[in-house]
Each structure stands twice: as structure tokens, then as C-alpha cells.
Structure 1
Amino acid sequence: MVKDIGIDLGTANVLIYLRDRGVILNEPSLVAVNNKTGEVIAAGAKAYQMLGRTPKDISIIHPLKGGVIADISIAEQMLEHFIRRLNLHSYIRKPDILICTPTNITTVEQKAIIQAAVKCGGQSIYLEEEPKVAAVGVGLDIFSPFGNMVIDMGGGTSDIAVLSMGSCVTSRSIKLAGDDLDHEITNYIKEEYQLIIGERTAEDIKMNLGTAIELEKESDMIIKGRDMTTGLPKSITIYSNEIYHCMKEVLETICEEARLVLEETPPELAGDIIDRGISITGGGALIHGMDQLLAEKLQVPVFVVDNPLNSVAIGTGKLLDRIKHDENPWSFIKRLFSSNRVVLNPTINMIEEKGEENDRK
């Protein structure tokens, strides 16, 4: 019997959740493509191993950028590859799929995600906002009349939301996240040491030395790359506080966006957040001192949740269970059947009609 699946379609990683089995797939959002034939050679972990090591006739493609699909065709093939590996298809029916999205996703981006999921064999496709899914995944009761605040720091976007009674009361989604930290590290090493490093090295530096607060006792790391002056291989030693300074501007911008969300929050819900604190999820939650930086800037308790990398994927599974067992599915969830599109939220319907009208113009 086919089982419904939840997908955390992240810029950095794709996670797939299966009921009763938990997270059964966690692989990088990368695809290796033959430039001559257009054939997909590898996806996920195998493509990641090739990153920075391929000949000219093979490209490593990031089909998702900034939290949304940048290359629909490649994203479809990547999802198809992952779902086929899990062998979830059935002759009786196709699986229902719930996919999380950033809070400010456009109609065009929504349709791209839906199209990819349908072509991968999904029957009914549900889209839900990422911070809401993350909150459910960490066990917050977002359906009660109390305020909960979540900051989900992923690879392509940082989503910040205050939730109450099953909806986002105030929210922001900014395209500043883990990938931008990698770029800042790459640029710093290039300017300071005239050393060119690859994506994998930048990510390793972030994971091993990344810190949101200045440290009294620093850690160090030897990195290798290509010298810009001589063109020859070269290794250098870098330190934690160097990485702190090059990441500082991006992290403080995320803090400022969180402050603006709090400014727009109704007073009663703001009071709840003082009592309950702010939960941070995603890969960015693992940056050393991120909770301390946010607590200092926002003057509110901040907690790194258990298992922050899997929170969104776990939330997709919990939401699917709720949908399946609820006789009256929530109005804020959108459904797409293989033949008919059903939009339960009148506001969303109005937005889509307005978008189609603008397209006609």
C-alpha cells in the first residue's frame, strides 16, 4: 500500500518523511548533468561528491535557489530520482505529497513546485508555509490562541513568523541564509589570502568555525585551495573570529528582520513570546552562539530546538496526518488533484485570479 510523503524541498538539502518511518531520505539538492546529452548522471549525495571535481562536459546544478525552484526540469528529475529510489508507487493510487514553501512565495513559484510534484507521481499536492511546518515539527501547538515565534534558517531563505490559531500573524522571508554565509566566507578568503576555495570547503569552514559571537578562545582550521598569484595549490590556517567577522553582517540582518516581525506583532501575542521564547530551526540554528545573538538583539529568550535539521520534514508528516484525519481540512491548505485544482482559501483564489488577469494584460 502506498504511503503519503512529506517533502522539505530545501535549497541545500531535500528531506523526505514517510509516516511510521520518519525521515527516510536526506540528500543535497544537487544534480550532475551531462552537458552534451542533457542526461542526469547523479543526484543528491553522489552529485555532491562530484562538486568542484567534474570535467567540462559535466555540470553540477542547483535546481533550487533562494528557497524556490530555479530550474523546473532539473528539479523534476531530481525529485523523480529520489522518489523512485524509495519505491513508494502503487498500482492502486499515487501518494499524496505535502511540500513546504517560504512565506512570501509567488503564484508562479507555487505552480512550479506543484508541477514538479505532479510530474513525480503525486496525486494530491499540499503546499504549506515553512515556519508553520517547522513549528509543528518541533511540537509547538500553533492551533491554540497563543503566540509562537519561529525562525527557520535554511540554505536559501530565512523564514521568520509569529503563529497563532493555525496561521501566520506576521511573517517575513528573506533570501539571506546558509548559502550567503558560504559566499561571504569564499569572498573573505579570496580577498584576505588571495586563495580561491570551492563550495564544499566554504561549507566545511562554516560548519567547523562558524560563530555568531566573538570567541575568547578561538579554534583554527587548515584549508586548501588555489593561489590567485601563482596558480598553484596552497594551504593556510584560519581562525574562528575571522569567520565571525565575515559572517557578522548577514547574521545581524537576519536579527533585524526578526526585530521587524516582532514590531508588527499584536501586543498580546508579543507577551506570549516573552513567556514562550523564540524557537530557531534549520541549519543556521547550529551556528555557534546564534541563539545568544538573537536573544541579545531581540531581548527575548531564544532556544535552539532538538533536531533542527529535520524539524520541517517531521512537520510535513504531522500535518499530513492531521489533514487525513480531519473531516474538514483547514482552509489555509491548498490542494491540487491530478485533474482538478481545488483552492480552499478564498484569499488565495483572489490572488491567483488577479495574477491571471495581470498575465492577460
Structure 2
Amino acid sequence: MFAKDIGIDLGTANVLIHVKGKGIVLNEPSVVAVDRKTRKVLAVGEEARQMVGRTPWNIEVIQPLKDGVIADFDVTELMLKYFIDKLKVKGFFSKPRILICCPTNITTVEQKVIREAAEKSGGKKVYLEEEPKVAAIGAGMDIFQPSGNMIIDIGGGTTDIAVLSMGDIVTSVSIKVAGDVFDNDILQYIKREHKLLIGERTSEEIKMKIGSVFIGARNEEMEISGRNMVSGLPLTITINSSEIEKCLRESISMIVLAAKNVLEKTPPELSADIIDRGVTLTGGGALMHGMDMLLAEELKVPVLIAENPMSCVAIGTGIMLDNLSRGHN
């Protein structure tokens, strides 16, 4: 019984694990619930996410990753160990090789922390790869040819934008504006405009159900409940898509600006390829209503959404694990 190689998409919002030969076997929220006194882990993943905003004082619900990097080392290690143990990928005599993804611009210290967490949670050898590169491979882009490919990976904590050619990143940028920021924008807007306090889970639901980033692309309404800031009592109001488009405008424009910066730094030959091939969108943010239309209009190039945008990084780790034997660093 030998260990199986595993690929991990260690995301701010979700952890996806790909086991060699089996495909993606785990997709759980990156959330851990611990007892404040004993620091004992009470729940991990979906079970812990259900507790967000609904726990008594003695239970703390932690998201150990912030902006794509580890904010709480011990909890991340516990979470990874829990997921890896759950999958039973360790052999009697061997430990799995782990390929783990990280945003493009993280520091060597942050890389070391990710590597350590993976080693401590049971990895024999840990490989780190840059997220946009892995996402591009998972989205089915042929990045090993001498031609330009552009990817915009909008996750929970970061948006990674890169132009790839010959199997490597030519120009890239990673910004801390992504799904979590959108949720917070909505939460703050409702607090400011409607004097209503809502939780993180409600704002995420609004984003998914009626959110849009393209003017006039969607016209839907939704009833939401929260606490009235004036009376302190529960209150239900109705909000619509155009309000959400307005409150997300500033954050979305930062993603557009970052994409334009990457295009401006791209060698002209590769820019010509991108005009032909277009830009591929991956990550949960790719599913934001109107995101492809907005980026196509702003960047003046075709924009396509990858087939399984949420799983591209995990699928990519699987493909890269198969190539580990080809002398991958």
C-alpha cells in the first residue's frame, strides 16, 4: 500500500484536493471551528462554515487563510491534516508527494510557511506552483507552446492575472481584490444605504443570486433580512441587481486596471496572440454575472469562461502531478 500523490488548491474560500488517479476528491470551505478555551477542533470545512455568525462565545470560527496566504499557521496545519487524514492517502510505508498552489506575488517567507504546513500535515515532498499557471493548465490552455495565453483567476482572496508562454509566466500581477472583497462591499453598502446589518453569508448569497458587474445585464430582486441599525429589531428589505452592480463598481475597476497593466507589459508578439485567442477566466469570480462581458468590453479582447472555473486549479494540479516524473522542480 503506497501513498498517492495529491494536489492541493489551498484557497482562501475553499480547499480542493486532487488525488492522482482519482480526480478531485475533496472540495470544502477553508473554515475551522475551535473551542476558545481548549483550542480543540470542533468542526472543519462545510460543517464549520454552517456555524459562521451563529456560534456561542466559546466557539470561534476561523478562516485560516487571508488574501491567498496563511494567516493562522496552526489552524491551517490542523485543517490540512484533517482533510489529508480523511482521504486516507498515506501508505503504510510512505507519505504522499504534495503539489500545492500559491498566488504569484507571495514572499519567500509566505512560501516557506505554506510548504511547512503541507509537510507537517503529512507530505513527503512538497512542490509549490504559481496559481495562474496551474489554473491555465487546468482550464485546458496549452501554455507550453511559444504563444501568448492570458488568464484571469478570480478567487476568494486574490485575483491573479498572468500572461503565459513556453510553460512559464511572462508577466503577472496578483491583487487582493476578489470574492471576499465583493462580499464585504455588499455588506457595507446595505449597512450604509439601508441601515441594515447583515452577515457575511447573506452578502455572499446576494452576490451569487442577484449580483452583476455589467450595467443592465441583470434585473432581479431579492428579499434579505437582518437587524435594523435604528430600531435594533429584525427587518426584511428588497434589493435589486443594479444596486449590487453599483456597489461592486469600484472593486471591479481595480481588477480591470490590473488586467490592463498586465497587457501593457506584455511583449507585442504575445499581445497579438491574446487578441486571437482571447482571455480565459477561472476561479469563483468567473461566475459573477456579466464579468466576461465587462472584461471583454474594457480589454477589447474576447473573454471566455473556463469550463469548470472553480476547479481549474485542482484539475491543473492533477495534470502537473502526472508530469512530476518529468523532472519538475
Tell me what 2:282 maps to: 281
Q: CA deviation at 1:21?
A: 1.7
Aligned residues: 328
**2:77 paired with 1:76:** yes
Tell me what 1:36 maps to: 37
Tell me what 2:189 maps to: 188
1:93-132 superposed matches below 5 A: 93-132=94-133
Tell me what 2:252 maps to: 251
Q: CA deviation at 1:136?
A: 0.4
Read off the aligned partner of 1:68 and give its amino acid letter: V
Partner SS, residue 20 of structure 1:
coil
- Distance in 1 (CA, whole Å) between partners of 2:175 and 2:54 is 31
- Distance in 1 (CA, whole Å) between partners of 2:81 and 2:4 is 16
Partner SS, residue 191 of structure 1:
helix
1:171-210 superposed matches below 5 A: 171-210=172-211
Partner SS, residue 38 of structure 2:
coil
1:134-213 superposed matches below 5 A: 134-213=135-214
- Distance in 2 (CA, whole Å) between partners of 1:176 and 1:270 is 24
- Distance in 1 (CA, whole Å) between partners of 2:218 and 2:100 is 42
Read off the aligned partner of 1:154 and give its amino acid letter: G
Tell me what 1:308 maps to: 309
Tell me, which stretches of 5 or more residues in structure 2 are unaligned?
Answer: none
CA contact (8 A) 2:212 2:218 kept: no
- Distance in 2 (CA, whole Å) between partners of 1:216 and 1:75 is 39
Tell me what 1:4 maps to: 5
Q: CA deviation at 1:20?
A: 2.2
Deviations, residues 282-336 of structure 1 (Å, cap 9, x unaligned): 0000011101100111101110010100000000010011112x1xx24xx3xxx
Tell me what 2:233 maps to: 232
Aligned CA RMSD, in angstroms, stands at: 0.9
Sequence identity, in percent?
Answer: 59
Partner SS, residue 183 of structure 2:
helix
- Distance in 1 (CA, whole Å) between partners of 2:116 and 2:226 is 40
- Distance in 2 (CA, whole Å) between partners of 1:97 and 1:233 is 47
> After TM superposition, which residue ranges in structure 1, 4 or more long, deviate above 2 angstroms?
none
- Distance in 1 (CA, whole Å) between partners of 2:269 and 2:38 is 59
TM-score, normalization: structure 2? 0.98
- Distance in 1 (CA, whole Å) between partners of 2:205 and 2:91 is 40
Read off the aligned partner of 2:287 and give its amino acid letter: L
Q: CA deviation at 1:217?
A: 5.5
- Distance in 2 (CA, whole Å) between partners of 1:273 and 1:46 is 42
Read off the aligned partner of 2:121 and give its amino acid letter: C
1:52-63 superposed matches below 5 A: 52-63=53-64
Partner SS, residue 106 of structure 2:
coil
Partner SS, residue 50 of structure 1:
coil
Tell me what 2:48 maps to: 47
Q: CA deviation at 1:231?
A: 1.3
Partner SS, residue 91 of structure 1:
coil
Tell me, which stretches of 5 or more residues in structure 1 are unaligned?
Answer: 334-361
Partner SS, residue 170 of structure 2:
strand
Tell me what 1:223 maps to: 224
Read off the aligned partner of 1:215 and give its amino acid letter: G
Q: CA deviation at 1:151?
A: 0.4
- Distance in 2 (CA, whole Å) between partners of 1:275 and 1:34 is 54
